[in-house]
Chains A and B, each alone.
Chain A
């Protein structure tokens, strides 16, 4: 029961974030909402493991958590340089 409540709350948050991804005027709105969707999916994996009585799926959740931030930085770098292969060299201005 308690896990079902948490799962429903996470699903509501995920649906609202999807709305912002579709509606966001700038690409940063979509990026923030996509980050929130990633967080919600991690929580959903963790909660679903407890819901079905097999909490071993948490490894997948940890993996998603690490991929999530890498994805955000990759999109930001692509937006700034237009290429993911740019090396550091001079320090970026921001």
Chain B
């Protein structure tokens, strides 16, 4: 009886995890630019991996294998958002422009350019900053206020 319950829970978790993984992979191929692709895959990948590993924890029972699986879940929960965040900031600082669309599906080039101009005005080009060493405080203030 208990085996049946554990198997049912594992099936539900595995189906949910598989769904999230495949949907994230489809989103990785369907989305229009880097940032939306990051959002599609970064969120659903953590959820899918967490669900599948949790199902394996239920199958393993109270053993050392379960402990290792829980550590694996923790590694996923810590590293996946950090990697997503790092890639996003690197893409923004290199100058990849996010594509914004209006309700009818046309790209709003003007707004995209305005957003990028505001960002680059608040934070000068990385190359220029490396040459003009100094004033780290001023940069921090400007960067924070423009992002909110």
Interface residue ranges, A against B (CB under 8 Å): 2-3, 5-6, 8-10, 12-17, 19-20, 23, 26, 28-29, 31-33, 35-36, 39-40, 42-43, 46-47, 50, 55-56, 58-59, 61-62, 65-66, 68-69, 72-73, 76, 79-80, 90-94
Determine if A72 and B87 form an interchain contact, defined as CB atoms under 8 angstroms apart: yes
Chain A to chain B: the 5 pairs with minimum beta-carbon distance, closest first: A9-B18, A16-B25, A13-B25, A94-B93, A69-B79
B contacts with A, residue count (CB < 8 A)? 57
Contacts of A91 in B (CB 8 A): 136
Determine if A36 and B89 form an interchain contact, defined as CB atoms under 8 angstroms apart: no
Main secondary structure of the interface of A (DSSP, over half): helix
Cβ-based interface call for B126 (8 A): yes
Contact of B79 among A16, A50, A55, A68 (CB under 8 A): A68
CB distance from A46 to the nearest CB of B (A): 6
CB distance from A71 to the nearest CB of B (A): 9
* CA distance in complex: A58, B56 (Å): 11
Contacts of B55 in A (CB 8 A): 2, 6
Determine if A69 and B83 form an interchain contact, defined as CB atoms under 8 angstroms apart: yes
**Chain A residue at minimal CB-CB distance from B134:** A90
Determine if B72 and A16 form an interchain contact, defined as CB atoms under 8 angstroms apart: no
* CA distance in complex: A12, B53 (Å): 17
Query: With contacts defined as CB atoms under 8 Å apart, how many contacts are there between chain A and chain B in the complex?
Result: 154
Interface residue ranges, B against A (CB under 8 Å): 7, 10-11, 14-15, 17-19, 21-22, 24-26, 28-29, 34, 37-38, 41-42, 45, 48-49, 52-53, 55-56, 59-60, 65, 68-69, 71-72, 75-76, 79-80, 82-84, 86-87, 89-94, 96, 123, 126, 129-130, 133, 136, 139
Determine if B90 and A20 form an interchain contact, defined as CB atoms under 8 angstroms apart: no
Determine if B86 and A36 form an interchain contact, defined as CB atoms under 8 angstroms apart: no
Q: What 5 additional pairs, Cβ within 8 angstroms, besides A39-B80, A58-B72? A: A10-B52, A12-B22, A50-B56, A65-B72, A69-B82
Contacts of B45 in A (CB 8 A): 36, 39
**Chain B residue at minimal CB-CB distance from A14:** B25
Determine if A33 and B28 form an interchain contact, defined as CB atoms under 8 angstroms apart: yes
Contacts of A58 in B (CB 8 A): 65, 68-69, 72
